[in-house]
Amino acid sequence: MSRTGLPTTRLLVPLLGACILLLAAGHVAVDGDVLAYELVEVSILLVFAAAVFYVGYRVDAGGFGRPSVWRILAASLGAGAVIGGLSGVYLLGRLLTGEPISEGWFVLMIGWSLGVSGGAVVGFVLEELRREQEAQALMTKRLAILQRVLRHNIRNEVTILSGIGNDAAESTDDPELAERLETMTDHVDRVYQLSEKSQLLSDLWKTTEVLPVDLAAVTRQEVSRFRDAHPDVVVTTSLPEEALVQSHESGYVAIREALQNAAEHNATEGLNVSVSIEEAGDETLLHVVDDGSSIPEAELDVLAQSEELPLQHLTGLGLWVIYWVLELSGGDVEFENRDPSGVRVTMRFEQA
């Protein structure tokens, strides 16, 4: 029943266009003016009819469901009633004031047809937006489930592999084999870190709200946390008492990742990191600078293009986390290799 009923329902939209054509034909048949003049008069009705037919075509081609069709029809007929009613009020006003009325029925037809065609177009656009939102919500739900399942399974598998690798490295007397096993467990740990970063990104995208944040206070907290975790790294700071900026609620994550990347990609012993904040016009800049190794130029190109390509991609998610946090905050970030070595990360925040 639904297979035969739905196409019939979709025909109701072009049926409104046919009604407008009938009104146009009736006006030409009844009015006694010259045919050419009548055709010019009803040309606007033909435009309205064409708009409704186009909506009907898009509804049918797009496979809209019955609820969507009924909502489009309701918007079309509702707008027709409103605009047609306003046309009637206009004519009634002229009648009550004794002003002459020329072709009152044609005015009513124009008003009703305008409302019907405009309502159909608006209803169709709203249904398109509704479908896109529903599709995005469904995709988000599926990705969340997929991410949760993958993260859980990866965590379990990584724990098992890491445990086996560590036990094997401790039990072997072959130094070369032990070194290979340690390398294996290091890579397994990287897989685990990627899983954790993917969860972090999933949490970031749950909200796009931007709030006033004291960047100086947040930076002090992250620097203190970093010093506790990496006592071998020399960290110097130049921070104001207060620096209010507009930031995503996870703005601290960008600072944490910038510091952590410096430690992860360098030997911490002898590593120097400086953190500073400065004002530049209506922006506040946060600099995280280290004297360790540089970022490969290919990775900098990927960040500059804001997308990963099959042959150009980052080796991890840390830099992307920083990039997306600043993007969500309404700011931006710049990664720059220093001479002769080291990296400067500059985060730009709008001042609150």
Whether residues 25 and 46 share a domain: the answer is yes
The residue segments making up the domain with residue 249 are: 210-350
Whether residues 49 and 113 share a domain: the answer is yes
Q: Check whether 290 has a pLDDT greater than 80.
A: yes
Q: Could you tell me the CA-to-CA distances from 330 to 88, 305, 307, 327 in Å, in that order?
A: 50, 18, 18, 5
Whether residues 214 and 195 share a domain: the answer is no
Q: Domain for residue 166, yes or no?
A: yes
Whether residues 193 and 246 share a domain: the answer is no
Q: Domain for residue 146, yes or no?
A: no
Which tokens belong to 146?
A: 């997929």
pLDDT score for 185: 82
CATH of the domain at 217: 3.30.565.10
**Of the candidates 121, 140, 159, which is a domain's last residue?**
140
Whether residues 219 and 337 share a domain: the answer is yes
Whether residues 173 and 259 share a domain: the answer is no
Q: Which residues pair with 275 in a beta bridge?
A: 237, 288
Whether residues 266 and 193 share a domain: the answer is no
pLDDT score for 314: 45
pLDDT score for 209: 83
Using a pLDDT cut of 70, give the percent of the chain over it: 87
Average pLDDT over residues 31-46: 76
Q: Could you report the per-residue pLDDT of 133-154, keeping only the tens digit for each?
A: 888 888 777 767 766 776 677 7
Q: Which residues pair with 345 in a beta bridge?
A: 288, 335
Of 173 and 48, the one with more pLDDT: 48
Whether residues 32 and 135 share a domain: the answer is yes
Whether residues 83 and 105 share a domain: the answer is yes
**Of the candidates 140, 161, 181, which is a domain's last residue?**
140
β-pairing, 332-337 vs 272-280, is unpaired
Confidence of residue 6 (pLDDT cuts 50, 70, 90): low
Confidence of residue 306 (pLDDT cuts 50, 70, 90): low
Q: What values do phi and psi take at 268, rounded to 5?
A: -70, -30
Q: Which of these, 202, 325, 306, lies nearest to 254 by C-alpha position? A: 325
Q: Which of these, 196, 184, 201, lies nearest to 154 by C-alpha position? A: 196
Rounded distance between C-alpha atoms, residue 341 and residue 144, angstroms: 40
Q: Which of these, 332, 337, 335, 336, lies nearest to 348 by C-alpha position? A: 332
Using a pLDDT cut of 90, give the percent of the chain over it: 41
